[in-house]
Chains A and B, each alone.
Chain A
Amino acid sequence: GEDVEQSLFLSVREGDSSVINCTYTDSSSTYLYWYKQEPGAGLQLLTYIFSNMDMKQDQRLTVLLNKKDKHLSLRIADTQTGDSAIYFCAGGSTLGRLYFGRGTQLTVWP
């Protein structure tokens, strides 16, 4: 079955880089996604990567994908207090449901 695992908590100091990790079991996932959720809000799509890519960079965000190990990471450069939120990793194909992890609570200390 489809399963996505993430560590639950990460704390970093403002200005440092944050790296949030995720492992997934479904090798048929065509796309892998990162979402951000702030308290009481819906999910904001941050970025996604196609499964045949190794890396994608989008401003302060860098996504790395190791398809062999089924490992995905999100690096946030120059982390700010406004980046404090829950970050969800998700996998899916070109059609249908996404499978989400439990989320990583990122806390940024000033």
Chain B
Amino acid sequence: DTGVSQDPRHKITKRGQNVTFRCDPISEHNRLYWYRQTLGQGPEFLTYFQNEAQLEKSRLLSDRFSAERPKGSFSTLEIQRTEQGDSAMYLCASSPGLANEQFFGPGTRLTVL
């Protein structure tokens, strides 16, 4: 198993454009998490799924953000009408449950110009 993968690794977009990120978790991990990390800060929780069900969303997740995990495997995070404040590293993690240990992917760095 190659771990959690994320695509793309880097995305540069203009303000107002829509972007979509993909996360492929470790196979058979039923939980999948999205976090956002800005410079000098720790990751901040955005949302998580157990299988295909989205169980919790942070207040950070405005209505411009939407996440899906349609078949309980990969997940997508879409940001509509991007703003400069959306510039950050978007991290995905998966967990097999147990001790809720979360394994992170390499992240997608978003820059909004």
Contacts and interface: CB of A to CB of B under 8 A. Distances in A.
B107 interface: yes
A48 B101 contact: yes
Contacts, number: 65
Interface residues of B, number: 27
Contacts of B45: 97-99
B74 interface: no
Nearest to B91: A42
Nearest to A2: B45
Interface in B45-90: 45, 48, 50, 55-56, 58
A102 B41 contact: yes
A4 interface: yes
B101 A33 contact: yes
A31 B99 CA distance: 7
B43 A92 contact: no
A27 interface: no
Given A42-B106, A98-B102, A102-B40, 16 more contacts: A30-B100, A31-B101, A41-B106, A43-B104, A45-B101, A45-B102, A50-B99, A92-B100, A94-B99, A95-B50, A95-B97, A96-B56, A97-B56, A98-B45, A98-B100, A100-B44
Interface of B: 4, 31, 33, 40-45, 48, 50, 55-56, 58, 91, 93, 97, 99-107, 109
